Chains A and B, each alone.
Chain A
Amino acid sequence: MDFYQVLLIIIPSMIAYAAPLIFTALGGVFSERSGVINIGLEGLMVIGAFTGIVFNLTYADVFGNWTPWISVLVAMVAGVLFSLLLAVATITFRADQTVSGVALNLLSVGLTIFLVKKIYDKGQTDFISETFARIDIPLLSDIPFIGPVFFSNSYYIAYIAILVSFIVWYILYKTPFGLRIRAVGEHPMAADTMGVNVFKIRYAGVLISGAFAGVGGAIHATIFANDFSHATINGQGFMAIAAMIFGKWHPVGAMGAALFFGLAQSLSIVGSSLPLFKDIPSVYLLIAPYVLTIIALTGFIGRADAPKAAGQPYIKGER
């Protein structure tokens, strides 16, 4: 197997693995840029995965090929609704953001497994029949050499994820709404003085993060797990947080980091069949995203500073 063939296997799989991470990390960017730390991304992904799979199983007969796409949209709504819990607790009731996020994670796993056992009378769901199809992007996949590597044998949703990260960049840096989000995350009192409604903007930030994480969870479950159990989402939410930090809270940076982590994930899974990676224990690739994040935070890969007001509840009138 020559190097080009290795690339043909690894790169499309990298892009696929990155897709859920990209969406969820973008959600994290929205939330933290508005000043709310969202440790609950993992739990929101769990909710998305659960909703996506259950909707898919229930309505596959009705919607046919369109089922996965509609399930992703439904998972998005479920993510928004669930993130409302975090928003109310942290913004309105000034709960500790990290602790609330942890509670959200525990709650989502407990609740979804409870419901799975209630609905299906067993610990995991059946396998879905309608999943995303692997595609070659028209025209682009015909480009010699790079076409087959980068634009073939992956999923539309993965390319949409990359596209969306640029849209999020535009929203955050080129629109008044984005300016408000960033202002509220850096200095809420100053923003308040300028007439920005800090509470509303933070609610928006958290709810958008719920939407994105719901999508991320549904995509991961639909593409890779094909069913839902307690282990369907196992750290992808935290990996997305890692990608967000690694990307320095910047949408395109987060997307880049997510692609890199997707590469690590794909290598740890397909690596054992590849000549170059056969002898490397997959544990190194599994822990790479986490270890790299610690190194990034420590400042060896340039300083990564969180939005200044992230973690602090905003209390009007207090200095």
Chain B
Amino acid sequence: MSKYLSKLTIPLLAVVLGLIAGSIIMLISGYDPIAGYGVMLDGIIGEQYYIGESLRTIITYALAGLAVAFAFRTGLFNIGVEGQLIVGWLAAVWVGVAFELPKFIHLPLAIVAGALAGALWAFIPGYLKAKFRVHEVIVSIMLNYTALYVTNYLINDILTDKKDRTERIADSASLSSPFLQSLTDYSRLHWGIVIAIICIIIMWFILEKTKMGFELKAVGFNQHASEYAGMSVNKNIILSMVISGVFAGLAGVMEGLGTFGYAAIKGGFTGMGFDGIAVALLGANTAIGVALAAILFGGLKAGALNMPLQIGIPSEIVDIIIALIIFFVAASYFIRWLAQRFNKKGVK
């Protein structure tokens, strides 16, 4: 009972509670929640175009979620996915703009550049944690802001002459796909969907089938026992952050080479990295869980865009719902306490 309770009941209950809270907020603000969710669902799967845009949103969410989840498995909280995503985005676009190469070299090169940039940005908190026992959360928050300001500066002063966005990437570095677009009524769906699926399989494979994955999980469960068993905790901390950063960088690559084809100056964060935390938490940090949670949150985000257009509900309602779901998952003790209440058993 208790095993299933934590594996499936808590995420599902959290989602249900979040959606209920969302409808209460809609009611209080004078909107019709049934119409609201109806329009939202329509915006997720109502038309081929919407399906394409939903899938496109889900791609980035899946990668951001994988990044957070992978670090979580080693007991690390990578709150820096946002920053790693931003530097990955810029690095990929940089390569896409700066070179003229045949597609089979240019595209992989741009993707690898983005992944490496994310890995490098994640290496810093990993290294500082391993070497100096500095808390990775604070370091990666600080690096998020550093990434934001540095990439803005690079776009404005180095890559362009005081413009607010880079040139478009060369076609040879683009992930966009006329085939997928024609399937989905010219949405911005791109080949990144293949990369996301491969990454989900890689995450599953690394964690479940390799010695490295076993060590990473062992370190996540109990650092001292792992140390005693002869594993290098420090090496695993750095490794985990770097792999996490690769996923985060790839999430940025999806935006840079797939959705937009350029990098622009940002007034604030994209939010996708932070939403990745929600995806990972809800997906219980497993590959398949992350995939499912990404479908949910990516769908909600894409569908929300339909709400202000159709019936005037601000799309931020989805941000509220996602935040509340995180609260409910984080305070899973609250859900267990509720469940125990119904079972008339004491809970410590």
A residues in contact (CB < 8 Å) with B: 39, 85, 89, 93-96, 98-100, 102-107, 109-111, 113-114, 117-118, 230-231, 234-235, 238, 241-242, 245, 281, 283, 286-287, 290-291, 293-294, 297-299, 306, 315, 317-318
Min CB gap B328→A, angstroms: 9
Which of B106-114, B203-211, B243-251, B319-327 interfaces with chain A?
Answer: B319-327
CA distance A286 to B153 in the complex (A): 10
CA distance A225 to B29 in the complex (A): 27
Is B79 in contact with A294, judged by CB distance below 8 angstroms? no
Min CB gap B78→A, angstroms: 11
Contacts A/B (CB < 8 Å), 17 sampled: A85-B327, A93-B334, A95-B332, A99-B326, A102-B274, A103-B323, A104-B323, A106-B275, A106-B322, A107-B323, A110-B319, A110-B322, A241-B141, A287-B149, A290-B142, A290-B146, A299-B134
- Is B145 interfacial (CB-CB < 8 Å)? yes
Contacts of B326 in A (CB 8 A): 99-100, 102-103, 106
CA distance A104 to B149 in the complex (A): 24
CA distance A172 to B64 in the complex (A): 41
CA distance A18 to B320 in the complex (A): 30
Q: A107-B324, A110-B319, A117-B314 are in contact. Are A93 and B274 (CB under 8 A)?
A: no
- Is B339 interfacial (CB-CB < 8 Å)? no
Contacts of B316 in A (CB 8 A): 109-111, 113-114, 117
Known contacts A95-B331, A117-B316, A290-B143; can you find 16 more A-B pairs with CB under 8 A? A94-B333, A95-B333, A98-B77, A99-B281, A100-B326, A109-B316, A110-B320, A110-B323, A111-B320, A230-B268, A235-B145, A242-B142, A283-B152, A287-B146, A287-B150, A294-B124
Contacts of A317 in B (CB 8 A): 348
CA distance A317 to B348 in the complex (A): 10
Min CB gap A196→B, angstroms: 21
Question: Of residues 127 to 153 in B, which have CB atoms within 8 Å of A's CB atoms?
Answer: 128, 132, 134-135, 137-139, 141-143, 145-146, 149-150, 152-153
Min CB gap A161→B, angstroms: 22
Task: Point out which of B132, B137, B152 has the most chain A C-beta atoms below 10 A from its C-beta.
Answer: B137
Residue ID in chain A nearest B31 by CB atoms: A118
Is A298 in contact with B134, judged by CB distance below 8 angstroms? yes
Contacts of B330 in A (CB 8 A): 89, 95-96, 99-100, 103
Is A238 in contact with B268, judged by CB distance below 8 angstroms? no
Q: Which 5 A-B pairs have the closest CB atoms?
A: A110-B319, A107-B323, A95-B331, A283-B153, A290-B142
Contacts of A299 in B (CB 8 A): 132, 134
- Is B102 interfacial (CB-CB < 8 Å)? no
Residue ID in chain B nearest A318 by CB atoms: B348
Contacts of A104 in B (CB 8 A): 323
Task: Select one of A85, A114, A242, A291 contacting B317, CB under 8 A.
Answer: A114
Task: Select one of A94, A106, A241 contacting B274, CB under 8 A.
Answer: A106
Residue ID in chain B nearest A316 by CB atoms: B348
CA distance A245 to B138 in the complex (A): 9
Q: A103-B327, A113-B314, A234-B268 are in contact. Are A294 and B142 (CB under 8 A)?
A: yes
Contact with A along B252-292 (1 / 0, CB 8 A): 00000000000000011001001101100100000000000
Contacts of B333 in A (CB 8 A): 93-95
Contact with A along B300-332 (1 / 0, CB 8 A): 000000001000001011111011101100111
CA distance A98 to B72 in the complex (A): 13
Is A100 in contact with B327, judged by CB distance below 8 angstroms? yes
Contacts of A99 in B (CB 8 A): 77, 277, 281, 326, 330
Residue ID in chain B nearest A242 by CB atoms: B142
Is B128 in contact with A297, judged by CB distance below 8 angstroms? yes
> Interface size class for chain B?
35 or more
- Is B100 interfacial (CB-CB < 8 Å)? no
Min CB gap B285→A, angstroms: 12
Task: Select one of B143, B278, B308, B331 contacting A100, CB under 8 A.
Answer: B331
- Is B227 interfacial (CB-CB < 8 Å)? no
Task: Select one of A102, A242, A287, A298 contacting B79, CB under 8 A.
Answer: A102
Is B267 in contact with A281, judged by CB distance below 8 angstroms? no
Min CB gap B313→A, angstroms: 9
- Is B47 interfacial (CB-CB < 8 Å)? no
CA distance A294 to B268 in the complex (A): 21
Residue ID in chain A nearest B337 by CB atoms: A93
Is A93 in contact with B331, judged by CB distance below 8 angstroms? yes
Q: A107-B324, A238-B141 are in contact. Are A89 and B29 (CB under 8 A)?
A: no
Is A89 in contact with B134, judged by CB distance below 8 angstroms? no
Task: Select one of A117, A283, A306 contacting B149, CB under 8 A.
Answer: A283
Is A231 in contact with B150, judged by CB distance below 8 angstroms? no
Task: Select one of B267, B278, B324 contacting A234, CB under 8 A.
Answer: B267
Contacts of A109 in B (CB 8 A): 316, 319
Q: A93-B334, A117-B314, A238-B145 are in contact. Are A107 and B132 (CB under 8 A)?
A: no
Contacts of B146 in A (CB 8 A): 287, 290-291
Min CB gap A242→B, angstroms: 7
Min CB gap A266→B, angstroms: 16
CA distance A102 to B78 in the complex (A): 12
CA distance A238 to B148 in the complex (A): 14
CA distance A298 to B150 in the complex (A): 21
Min CB gap B18→A, angstroms: 11
Min CB gap A80→B, angstroms: 18
Is B145 in contact with A290, judged by CB distance below 8 angstroms? yes
CA distance A231 to B334 in the complex (A): 33
Contacts of B128 in A (CB 8 A): 294, 297-298
CA distance A96 to B330 in the complex (A): 6
Min CB gap A230→B, angstroms: 7
Contacts of B348 in A (CB 8 A): 315, 317-318
Q: A95-B327, A287-B146 are in contact. Are A106 and B319 (CB under 8 A)?
A: yes
Contacts of A105 in B (CB 8 A): 274
